[in-house]
């Protein structure tokens, strides 16, 4: 699986529709300070399901929408589409070309799409969870993160390795199942209390 193309429209400093092709091998993005290099990686993380406005250097999620400049009015919508070459079938049960789109309007309405079909945010997160491309994955190392990884607690470092090894998904499913079991046990306890009271 390879990221082939990125379309950014109205996201942060990208007021105009901007198309970026990624060819095989290594792609470097260069430009002066403040020209929008980090905004490109943030557009990718956002599309993959980032839910924290702070980690996108904003206060609220609406801050990702182009806020206007002295010469240009703000926009009402941010939209980013990532196109993947999936001809190796890396993403299971998906076509040879996979597109993922996230859209946000200033009134808070948002859309998530896989292959132009509306889906839930959870579907996008699930699609990439085991791919090494999840929004929290080791694939994104932003400025300052290298030191943070080295200085992090062993448990946090372990979580990074678990995501890389594809264990995280099962761990989350296990936690969910355990929470459901506990809820069921609480209900059973409540029922036996009532039964005991009735006797």
Rg (CA), the chain: 21
Report helix, strand or coil for 36: coil
Residue 187, helix vs strand vs coil: helix
**Counting contacts by CB under 6 A, is residue 123 touching ligand ATP?**
no
Both tokens assigned to 158: 């372990």
Binding of ligand ATP at residue 84 (CB under 6 A)?
no
Q: Is 119 in the site for ligand ATP (CB under 6 A)?
A: no
Question: Stretches 58-66, 99-107, 110-118, 171-179: which one binds ligand ATP (CB under 6 A)?
Answer: 58-66
Q: Is 12 in the site for ligand ATP (CB under 6 A)?
A: yes
Instruction: In angstroms, give the least distance from the CB of 12 to ligand ATP.
Output: 4
Short-list 40, 35, 1, CA closest to 19:
40
Q: Which residue has the tokens 């702070």?
A: 54
Positions 17 through 36 that interact with ligand ATP (CB under 6 A): 31, 33-36
54 secondary structure, DSSP code: G
Residue whose tokens read 């355990």? 178
> Using an 8 Å Cβ cutoff, are 2 and 85 in contact?
yes
12 known member of a binding site: no
Beta carbon nearer to ligand ATP, 2 or 142: 142
5 binds ligand ATP (CB under 6 A): no
**Taking CB under 6 A as the rule, does residue 137 contact ligand ATP?**
no
- In the complex, least distance from residue 79 CB atom to ligand ATP, rounded to whole angstroms: 13
Query: What angle, rounded to 10 degrees, do the helices at 154-165 and 168-198 form?
Result: 110
Can you give the binding site for ligand ATP, defined by CB under 6 A?
A: 12-13, 31, 33-39, 63, 65-67
Q: Binding site for ATP: what residues are annotated?
A: 32-39
């Amino acid at each position: 699986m390879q990221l082939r193309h990125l379309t950014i429209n109205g996201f942060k400093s990208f007021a105009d529709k901007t198309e970026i092709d990624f060819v095989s091998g290594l792609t470097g993005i260069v430009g002066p300070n403040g020209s929008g290099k980090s905004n490109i990686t943030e557009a990718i993380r956002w599309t993959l399901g980032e839910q924290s406005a702070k980690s996108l250097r904003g206060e609220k999620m609406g801050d990702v929408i182009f806020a206007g400049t002295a010469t240009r009015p703000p926009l009402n919508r941010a939209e980013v589409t990532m196109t993947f070459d999936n001809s190796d079938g890396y993403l299971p049960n998906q076509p040879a070309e996979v597109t993922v789109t996230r859209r946000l309007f200033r009134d808070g309405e948002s859309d998530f799409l896989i292959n132009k079909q509306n889906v839930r945010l959870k579907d996008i997160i699930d699609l990439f969870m085991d791919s090494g491309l999840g929004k929290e994955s080791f694939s994104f190392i932003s400025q300052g993160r290298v030191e943070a990884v080295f200085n992090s607690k062993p448990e946090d470092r372990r979580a990074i390795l678990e995501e890389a090894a594809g264990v995280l998904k099962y761990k989350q499913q296990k936690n969910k199942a355990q929470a459901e079991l506990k809820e069921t046990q609480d209900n059973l306890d409540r029922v036996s209390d009532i039964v005991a009271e009735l006797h």
